Amino acid sequence: MSRLLLACVFSLMSVLGIAGVASAQEAANAPVPAAQQTTVNPAPDVNAPQEPSPEAREETKRKLWIGGIAVLLFVLVYYRNKKRWAKWRKARAAKKG
């Protein structure tokens, strides 16, 4: 069962990856803007912020909560299906023998 799930995840990732690469290609006749010269400062910024902004922290918290809930739901569905599958196999084995 887990091999089937793994195969589905990999096929979904490959389809989305191929679609993403294909949509990122540029048209041949499209005008290309000239690159601007930028100055590069190799030295680190002394006054760099050490902590993310409160908005970024709130967004990160929200994303972590959503990810945690998604993982929890996946685990619940996986174990429910695993129990159903075991029950079905047990009933099928009892029918045959």
Q: Each residue's pLDDT tens digit in the chain (97 positions)?
A: 577 777 767 666 776 665 555 555 555 666 666 667 777 767 776 776 678 888 989 999 999 999 999 999 999 999 999 999 999 999 999 998 6
H helices then E strands: how many in the chain?
2, 0
- Kindly list the domain boundaries of the chain, sorted by start residue: 57-97
- Length of the chain, in residues: 97
User: Alpha-carbon distance 66 to 60, whole Å?
Assistant: 10
Tokens of 77: 């569905």
Tokens of 74: 């996946």
Q: Which residues contact 87 (CB under 8 A, 6 or more apart)?
A: none
What is this structure's pTM?
Answer: 0.44
